[in-house]
A and B are shown apart, each in its own frame.
Chain A
Amino acid sequence: MSLLFYISSFVALLFLSLGAPFVAVLEVIVYAGAIIVLFIFVVMMLNLGKDTAQQESAWLRPRVWLLPSLLCLILLGEMTALLIIGTEDKMQISVVDPKKLSMSLYGPYIIAVELIGFLLMAGIVGAAHIGKHTKKHLHRYLQDPETTEINI
């Protein structure tokens, strides 16, 4: 199951090695705690079959993807070579502690924090509104027998 690969391919360890312990902890909490659980619930509710994977494997013949992936590999190698040949400087790892982070978060970035609050509120309301089963309740004078069965 590719969700498990996604969990195991976290960049949180990379964040820890980059000196960002607070963000690493937050990444693990949000992703492993919330998003993966959401995905697993949806996959359980949907009860997917095997036919889509079969169709994907039939659609992805090697003749189709070989040449574009070769070109993309060449481009990626070029970019990697350019990045490595260029000014190779060792980063001095300095741990940015959560105190500095939160001082900056509620200092100059307070507008962005409020905007992100708006976005999360809109996300909650949107998910609750889309996720509920819409059942039209019209007034009984407005109901006629043809439109009462509204296809949901």
Chain B
Amino acid sequence: MMPIGSNTVLVVAAALFVLGLAAALTRKNIIFILIAVEVMLNASGLAFVAAGAKWHQPDGQLMFLFILAMAAAEISVGLALVLQIYHQHKTLDVEDLKELRD
């Protein structure tokens, strides 16, 4: 198997994180913001797996498993909130959702 430098993987993870951050900052739709958060979680998980592969330990993959479970729980609650917001306000624009009271 072709050896990969650990810096290359870290650069890829950083680029993925920056892409997710840019999408989360520029998008106006809540669903796309959630997807951007998922991309950022994947980037951090990639960094964990790269570190675990560097030191030949399974701990990095374990951390990625925990990140995966956390992402699943987060996305289920987030999508339920999106549905409730759409039923209440009939919009998903974050600039229209300014008030906390119902």
Contact with B along A12-37 (1 / 0, CB 8 A): 00110111101100110010001100
Distance between A92 CB and nearest chain B CB, rounded to angstroms: 7
Interface of B, secondary structure class, is: helix
Distance between B3 CB and nearest chain A CB, rounded to angstroms: 4
Instruction: Please give the number of chain B residues whose Cβ is less than 8 angstroms from any Cβ of chain A in the complex.
Output: 65
Asked if B53 and A91 make an inter-chain contact with CB atoms under 8 angstroms apart, the answer reads yes
CA distance A64 to B27 in the complex (A): 14
Distance between A84 CB and nearest chain B CB, rounded to angstroms: 6
Chain B residues whose CB sits within 8 angstroms of the CB of A42 once the complex forms = 31, 79, 82-83
Contact with B along A49-76 (1 / 0, CB 8 A): 0001001100110000100010010001
Residue contacts A-B, CB under 8 angstroms, 13 given? A18-B9, A35-B75, A42-B83, A88-B5, A90-B3, A96-B58, A101-B61, A104-B59, A105-B62, A116-B69, A122-B73, A123-B77, A130-B80
| A contacts, CB < 8 Å to B | 2-3, 6, 11, 14-15, 17-20, 22-23, 26-27, 30, 34-35, 38-39, 42-43, 45-46, 48, 52, 55-56, 59-60, 65, 69, 72, 76, 79-80, 83-84, 86, 88-94, 96, 100-101, 104-105, 109, 112, 116, 119-120, 122-124, 126-128, 130-131, 133, 151-152
